[in-house]
Amino acid sequence: ALTQPLQGLPAVLSDVLGPVLKDVDEVQLLETAGAVAVALVLKTAIKLSHRETAESARRKAGLAGLVLFPAQGKGGVELIGKPTLSDGDTLLRPDTFTQAHGALNSQLVSAAVVGLQAQGRHVLELYCGNGNFTLALAKTAQGVVAVESFGASVALGQEAATRAKLENIRWIQSDAEKTGLALAREGERFDCLLVDPPRAGCAKVAQIAKATGAARVVYVACDPSSLARDAKALIAAGYEPVTAQ
């Protein structure tokens, strides 16, 4: 279900975006603390008509801003207004991954931080996104290496860390699994590992955990089948389940 500020917005956008809807592949909505931002994922390069229509939508729908996301290989992202929203220390944008339920996400972050027991320790975080867990971990950890493949998410995380004056985070924009194994080959070792993969899971999580020396692993899952596969590999590698939520 849509949050109250988003109710009625699809109808408004359908009307305002009418002239360019044929070029829109997907519309992504983001709301936090009553502020709303929208991403338009396009099938084409960004055109003047897209910019003008987006600005009209921003005014008529009372949006904080929009992101115009062109088709792959058709240019860079453009921002209309101020589509970057704040949720506590974390910065969000509608074209980057965000947990759907804000209140439950706070509980999720808290549970992950408590479970990892990272106080004063070195942490490797794979699939860090825009720092949903990273910022909370960095407040007590000795240091965090945060790996994410999507550049916009990394940029948001870096900006949020700067605002929060967290200087113990090393951000790496790269493939999470490949980077985890590469760090191990380079001799880097970590006390704890946190992974928050997409539905496909993190098939090499056990290999990465063992190779980097992580004594404790927190796995945030969104798909039962990939979790079962990866948990089986972790158990086979010598890790024991402690808690599940």
Known catalytic residues are 222
Q: Which residue type occupies 104?
A: L
3-state secondary structure of 185: helix
Q: Is residue 133 within 8 Å of 196, Cβ to Cβ?
A: yes
For residues 133 and 106, what is the distance between their CA atoms, to the nearest angstrom? 10
For residues 135 and 89, what is the distance between their CA atoms, to the nearest angstrom? 7
For residues 240 and 238, what is the distance between their CA atoms, to the nearest angstrom? 7
Instruction: Give kind and range of the element (H or E) at residue 171.
Output: strand 169-173
- Residue count (the chain): 245
